[in-house]
Amino acid sequence: MAGLLSNLYNWFNPMYQPEDQGGYYQSIPASIPNNLVDRSGWGLRQDGTPKGYGWLGVLPNREGGVSTEITTDVDGVAMPTLVPTLNPVEINHMLNTPQHIDPFSSKIGQGILSKAIEHAQLRMALGLSPFKD
């Protein structure tokens, strides 16, 4: 399965370019069909619920794996950052920022965080989880 994911990543890789080196490509990688993804190694969220396929589907990331939610915690509330209101530049930023770099430390990252918070607040106001699944 790892080989398949690596091949899919290479095929769909949006070619990360840091903001100071010319920005990001405007298209996002295609979502990997759910039936091709093994969720058994994904584990659980901090609240004990299983990680899901996310709002945008299963997307290849720069590490050669996949991302579905990219959860963050704001004031003790866990929420996904890959939400439907992100534009392609923001999605690529989240998928392609190396794990050792804080994705929210830049201007684009702050916008993503704002959208994630707004999305979570709206869902919770409706009595729903911020997560899709």
- C-beta separation of 24 from 35 below 8 A: no
Q: Which residue has the higher pLDDT, 128 or 133?
A: 128
Put simply, whether the predicted model's pTM sits higher than 0.85 gets the answer: no
Going by pLDDT thresholds of 50, 70 and 90, the confidence category of residue 44 is confident
pLDDT the model gives residue 38: 87
Q: CA angle at residue 130 from 13 to 31, to 5 degrees? A: 20
Residue 66, both tokens: 């996949």
Question: Which residue(s) pair with 67 in the sheet?
Answer: 59
Going by pLDDT thresholds of 50, 70 and 90, the confidence category of residue 9 is very low
Instruction: For strands 59-60 and 66-67, give the pairing.
Output: antiparallel
Q: Where are the domains of the chain?
A: 2-125
Going by pLDDT thresholds of 50, 70 and 90, the confidence category of residue 107 is very high
Rounded to an integer, what distance in angstroms lies between the CA atom of residue 66 and that of residue 127?
A: 29
Rounded to an integer, what distance in angstroms lies between the CA atom of residue 31 and that of residue 59?
A: 5
CA distances to 59, 118, 132 from 9, rounded to whole Å, are 9, 30, 23
pLDDT the model gives residue 26: 62
